[in-house]
Amino acid sequence: MTDAHFFNDEPFLNHEEGPDLLGHGQYAQHVLSLLDRVRAQTETGVLALIGSWGSGKSSVLGKVIRRLQEAENGEGWLIAELNPWLYSDLESLTQALFSEIREALPRDERWSEARLKIGGFGRAISPLGKATAVFGLDSEGLIQEVSSRISGDTSASAAKRKAEEALRKAGRPVLVIMDDLDRLTPEELLVVFKLVRLVGHLPGVYYLISFDERTLLDVLQRSELVGNSEPRAREFLEKIVQVRLDLPAFRERDADLLVDRSLSAVLASHSLALTPDEQQRISEAYYRHLQDRLRTPRAIKRFFGQVDATLGQLTGNVDIVDFLLVTFLRTSEPRAYQLLWQHRAELTGTSVDLPSRRDERPEQRIDRWRTRLRDAGVAEQHLDSVIGLMGMLFAPLRQALGYGANTQAIALRRGVGSIDYFDRYMVFGVPDDDLPERTFDTALQQLTDGTPGTEADELLLRLRDDTQRITRRIQYKRVAGTPLPVAALLKAAARQYGHLTATPQGVFGLFTADRAMDFLARDLLTDLAEPERPAILKAMAQSPDGAVLAARTLQRVTARQDSDGPDDTQAAATPGWIGEARSLISHEIAQHLSVSRPIHELTDLEITLIWAWRHAEPAAARAWISQRLDQEWALLDLLAVLIPPDRAPFPIIDNDTLQSLDALIGLEALYSRLGPLLDTPAADPDNSQDEHRARILEALRGHRGNTPSNGNG
């Protein structure tokens, strides 16, 4: 079934073709047979189709009506449908009833008398003013009607006898169908019953009414006629209804089949198909948490109607199973759904836990969510299923439930539990600050093919302005095994490296944009064959910012390789590509620093390049620095620009900084050049610059003699 109509309150899946999953077609045939039996035994009667809200009463009525209309052969049933919701008093409802009956009668000569007498009876028992509304009289017609009533026989009894005679003579039964009587007010309901049982008690006219019995009895008990007594309400109802038609129970099997058919319809309408993993996950969710809540045709239709209505542009941009579960929460537990946004950071694992929660046990987290859900109006019997659904969506809750959770798997499937995709589920689309999957994939293909395009331009722009999210999404593609334009991405990363504008993320804002780019470049470089790496690193280093990234990337890749094997084999096992790459990057850095200038005129980028040089060829960096120290630079001034003045809470020169200085300058040469300053007692500084230099000297005094030198002089 691919043509389900979800966006109305019409009978659900009211189609004759295909399997009758609800059994409504079979039951409709039973109703038709019973109607003929009732007609054979009595001139008039009231039948009631009884079932709970959403159980499919309207679907059965729809099938009854259609089959009666299709079977019409000149002697069969005539259909009149009356919506009592539209009328609030007996007079207007009476007029409507006789108007509908009259309209149901054929318009040929044989029926002219019956049509005339039914209209006459309706006018006789209705106020003149109401008649104008039903019969459409204009001012001239109204004058004629007044004259007719004055001069003619218009008594109600006489008019009714004439109508009865005409209906008996016509010889065809009329079935008046009224649905959803349980939605009327007590007063309106009594009006309908008075009409059906007394005023509309005509030969050949039968009534098929429909309601939810529990609700209807509650309505009757609020009326003055019945009072607050269920036995009296039931007795009154039994006087009105001669034949009960209890809708067959909607079995668990029926619900399961209807859910499966509805899901297939939604998937087909959006050109989707479930993978085996998705089938397993939706099956788990349904049988564990959804089955008890999708127990009526209306509930099933409402749920899948919402899925169909809101999936839209999210097709291919979200995980379909997650979307189904989030939609269920939104439609069935809307206040619980609002909690998702309220606790977005906690659910996606991106929040900084309060000190009171850092040692929280799993059962405490679950209890906290139970309290939240109760406050949001979730019924006690539904708490476990709602928490279970949320556990399928969000890693922190799944871990608390004891199932374990793979946060990377959530991100790989574009799940709501990933901070990179959460917003899509909340705004029913891809936000403006996000990049749709199709655009993302097209951009990667353009980069692979080397063909320019707006999608590739957009991706590179987002790489600069939304670095952490874009680098994560590229990493998801890597893990999923998607072929990537590695060389193109590395070159693009190098071009953007000095222009990143994304704000820091993570705990205390420590995950910066350049750090995200560092990790991506490291992983992408390892995806290249080793012989290809030097040329790519050289291309990256063409710009000063790119040279910084290239040097850092090489250092991270080689550090990872060095940590993979026994220490005593590393020197002999160092791949040849590393030496070539170091030489190429070092050459580019030297070119970027070729312009000689005083130390105080060095830019921040040039200072960063000097630091980065130690990752490429520290010997070349030492030679370059030594030459400038011999010519024009003062070592203490160089240290003052290389070492930031504010490193609190860390020492101004810690062991890592000392090792870096050893690589760039050589500790023996450093102590030798600074010897007189280190041996001279520190004087009181005159300004902040002097204070910074004094602190550097004091730190070096503390390290001198304690730190082994590498022998570089």
pLDDT band, very low/low/confident/very high, at 318 (cuts 50, 70, 90): very high
On average, the pLDDT of the chain sits at 84
Residues 11, 313 contacting (CB under 8 angstroms): no
Structural tokens at position 455: 């999608």
pLDDT (0 to 100) of residue 62: 87
288: DSSP letter: I
Beta strand 45-50 pairing with 78-81: unpaired
Cα-Cα-Cα-Cα dihedral of 689, 692, 697, 702, to 10°?
A: 170
Q: What is the pTM of this model?
A: 0.74
pLDDT band, very low/low/confident/very high, at 147 (cuts 50, 70, 90): very low
Q: pLDDT digit string (tens) for 154-185?
A: 566 777 788 788 778 777 888 999 888 888 88
Q: pLDDT digit string (tens) for 199-208?
A: 778 888 899 9
C-alpha to C-alpha distance for 63 and 177, rounded to whole angstroms: 12
Give yes or no for residue 77 having a pLDDT over 70. yes
Average pLDDT of the residues in 12-40: 71
Q: Identify the CA nearest to 548 among candidates 568, 505, 518.
A: 518
Q: pLDDT digit string (tens) for 335-390?
A: 999 999 999 999 998 876 655 566 788 999 999 999 999 999 999 999 999 999 99
C-alpha to C-alpha distance for 8 and 94, rounded to whole angstroms: 29
* Phi and psi torsions of 244, nearest 5°: -90, 135
Q: pLDDT digit string (tens) for 529-553?
A: 999 999 999 999 999 999 999 999 9
Higher pLDDT, 4 or 119: 119
Q: Please state, for a pLDDT cut of 70, what percent of the chain lies above it.
A: 85
pLDDT (0 to 100) of residue 570: 42
pLDDT (0 to 100) of residue 160: 77
Average pLDDT of the residues in 75-100: 80
pLDDT (0 to 100) of residue 623: 95
C-alpha to C-alpha distance for 233 and 216, rounded to whole angstroms: 9
Higher pLDDT, 105 or 46: 46
C-alpha to C-alpha distance for 378 and 389, rounded to whole angstroms: 13
pLDDT (0 to 100) of residue 301: 87
pLDDT band, very low/low/confident/very high, at 507 (cuts 50, 70, 90): low
pLDDT (0 to 100) of residue 484: 95
pLDDT (0 to 100) of residue 182: 82
Higher pLDDT, 32 or 569: 32
Higher pLDDT, 197 or 21: 197
pLDDT (0 to 100) of residue 137: 38
C-alpha to C-alpha distance for 621 and 666, rounded to whole angstroms: 10
| Least confident residue range of 277-291, 505-519, 605-619, 630-644 | 505-519
Sheet holding 205-211, edge to edge: 78-81, 174-178, 205-211, 45-50, 243-246
Higher pLDDT, 112 or 622: 622
pLDDT (0 to 100) of residue 560: 65
Structural tokens at position 693: 């230099």
Beta strand 78-81 pairing with 174-178: parallel
Is there a cis peptide before residue 531, judged by omega within 30 degrees of 0?
no
Q: pLDDT digit string (tens) for 655-701?
A: 899 999 999 999 999 999 998 888 887 666 667 778 888 889 988 98
Selection from 22-36, 154-168, 209-223 with the highest mean pLDDT: 209-223
